[in-house]
């Protein structure tokens, strides 16, 4: 039985969405046991509203969530029993193999960094996100690539970029079922010598590591999806990811605005509904289980704040799948071969 602990208070919809998602998982995620952290009476009340399998769900009493707009360091100091802190502690003590939270991203990263051991040889944890792409990936033709880091770091060294490449490839291989995911470095030109010093160094090292490294790529390769995994420092990854969200929002608003003003456009848009839904689905990366925080012995999945019950259920399944696929072991093996190559 794989044990996944869920911060049952985190996310824009609080325990209503989280507990409903866990209840769904208890019925259809085989071989998974979910531990819910948060005030026991709050969680029990939510749980009573949903059909669930009580043999595959348990409660672990904890405090409230870290508020979405709080400074995470101050909030965790003020409330060491916050639901995310208690969930992370359970991971550390071996009471769970994976963690899912739709709560405060900074608090999730900080809880993990302060409580958990990193895999030997990994210098920095990285948050990876899926980005929508034109090209399909892997046997299931997933319409997205993985990009990391998107915000756990700011600037990094070349060695750290190489670690990100190894971690991203391991995750992509397990989750998308790609035997050898292609990995690219995000730079300002495709030539090996292009980019900041750390990118140039990473390029040199990656050529001698057991990762299918396809070289440097540029910004336009992200929407095209020319690699399965894009590697960059957290500052760049964060700006890029948030910009993609902004672009999708703006396109949507412009279309709605146009429709409101002209009857002909409204008619045209309604005829396009099927196509718009498809476009929307391509851009809707919330449904792919969330963002893994990579580099720790345990599996941590940061689900989107706006996650509803289905997204939470998916994140629980993805977390279990990564545990089952031996994520930490595969990352450790990659790092070892990196040490040997030096």
Cβ-contact 100, 319 below 8 angstroms: yes
Q: Which stretch binds a second copy (CB under 8 A): 93-101, 255-263, 291-299, 306-314?
A: 255-263
Q: Whole-number minimum distance, CB 123 to a second copy, in Å?
A: 17
Following DSSP, what letter does each residue of 291-305 receive, concatenated? EEEESBSSEEEE--T
- Say whether 218 sits in a helix, a strand or coil: coil
Nearer to a second copy, 168 or 334 (CB): 168
Task: Count residues near a second copy (CB under 8 A).
Answer: 51
Q: Whole-number minimum distance, CB 276 to a second copy, in Å?
A: 9
**By CB under 8 A, residue 240 contacts a second copy:** yes
Nearer to a second copy, 13 or 265 (CB): 265
**By CB under 8 A, residue 224 contacts a second copy:** yes
- 26, 52, 42, 9: which is closest to 313 by C-alpha? 26
Cβ-contact 150, 129 below 8 angstroms: yes
Please give the structure tokens belonging to residue 246: 């902004």
Q: How many CA atoms lie within 13 A of 168 on its CB side?
A: 31
Nearer to a second copy, 224 or 306 (CB): 224
Following DSSP, what letter does each residue of 19-46 receive, concatenated? HHHHHHHHHHSTTEEEEEEE-HHHHHHH
Q: Which of 57, 119, 186, 328 binds a second copy (CB under 8 A)?
A: 186
Q: Whole-number minimum distance, CB 216 to a second copy, in Å?
A: 11
Please give the structure tokens belonging to residue 287: 């449904």
Taking residue 246's Cβ as centre, other Cβ atoms within 10 Å add up to 10
Q: Which of 219, 280, 326, 336 binds a second copy (CB under 8 A)?
A: 219
**By CB under 8 A, residue 258 contacts a second copy:** yes
**By CB under 8 A, residue 139 contacts a second copy:** no
Nearer to a second copy, 111 or 153 (CB): 153
- Say whether 188 sits in a helix, a strand or coil: coil
User: Cα–Cα–Cα angle for 68, 98, 86, nearest 5°?
Assistant: 50
**By CB under 8 A, residue 234 contacts a second copy:** yes
Q: Whole-number minimum distance, CB 225 to a second copy, in Å?
A: 9
**By CB under 8 A, residue 222 contacts a second copy:** yes
Cβ-contact 254, 171 below 8 angstroms: no
Q: What is the DSSP letter of 122?
A: -
Cβ-contact 21, 29 below 8 angstroms: no
**By CB under 8 A, residue 136 contacts a second copy:** no
Map the footprint of a second copy across residues 189-208, applying CB under 8 A.
Answer: 195-196
Q: Whole-number minimum distance, CB 44 to a second copy, in Å?
A: 36
**By CB under 8 A, residue 332 contacts a second copy:** no
Report the interface residues with a second copy, using CB under 8 A: 134, 151, 154-155, 186-188, 195-196, 218-224, 232, 234-236, 238-247, 249-251, 253-255, 258, 262, 264-265, 267-272, 274-275, 278-279, 282
């Amino acid at each position: 039985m794989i044990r996944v602990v869920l911060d049952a208070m985190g996310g824009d919809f609080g325990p209503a969405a989280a507990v409903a998602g866990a209840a769904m998982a208890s019925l259809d995620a085989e071989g998974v046991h979910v531990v819910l952290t948060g005030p026991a009476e709050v969680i029990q009340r939510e749980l009573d509203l949903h059909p669930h399998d009580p043999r595959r769900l348990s409660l672990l009493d904890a405090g409230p969530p870290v508020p979405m707009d709080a400074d995470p360091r101050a909030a965790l100091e003020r409330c060491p029993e916050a639901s995310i802190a208690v969930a992370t502690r359970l991971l550390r003590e071996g009471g769970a193999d994976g963690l899912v939270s739709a709560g405060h991203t900074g608090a999730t990263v900080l809880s993990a960094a302060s409580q958990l051991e990193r895999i030997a040889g990994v210098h920095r944890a990285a948050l990876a996100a899926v980005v929508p792409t034109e090209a399909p990936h892997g046997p299931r033709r997933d319409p997205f690539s993985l990009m990391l880091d998107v915000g756990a770091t700011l600037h990094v060294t070349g060695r750290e970029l190489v670690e990100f490449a190894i971690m991203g490839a391991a995750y992509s291989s397990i989750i998308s079922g790609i035997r050898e995911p292609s990995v690219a470095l995000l730079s300002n030109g495709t030539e090996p010598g292009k980019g900041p010093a750390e990118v140039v160094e990473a390029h040199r090292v990656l050529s001698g590591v057991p990762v299918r490294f396809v070289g440097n790529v540029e910004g336009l390769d992200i929407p095209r999806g020319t690699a399965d995994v894009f590697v960059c420092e957290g500052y760049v990854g964060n700006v890029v990811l948030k910009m993609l969200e902004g672009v999708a929002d703006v396109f949507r608003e412009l279309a709605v605005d146009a429709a409101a003003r002209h009857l002909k456009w409204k008619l045209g848009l309604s005829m396009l509904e099927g196509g718009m839904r498809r476009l929307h689905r391509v851009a809707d990366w919330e449904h792919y289980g969330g963002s893994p925080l990579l580099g720790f012995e345990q599996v941590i999945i940061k689900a989107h704040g706006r996650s509803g019950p289905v997204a939470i259920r998916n994140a629980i399944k993805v977390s279990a799948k990564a545990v089952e696929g031996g994520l930490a072991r595969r990352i450790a093996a990659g790092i070892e071969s990196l040490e040997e190559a030096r």
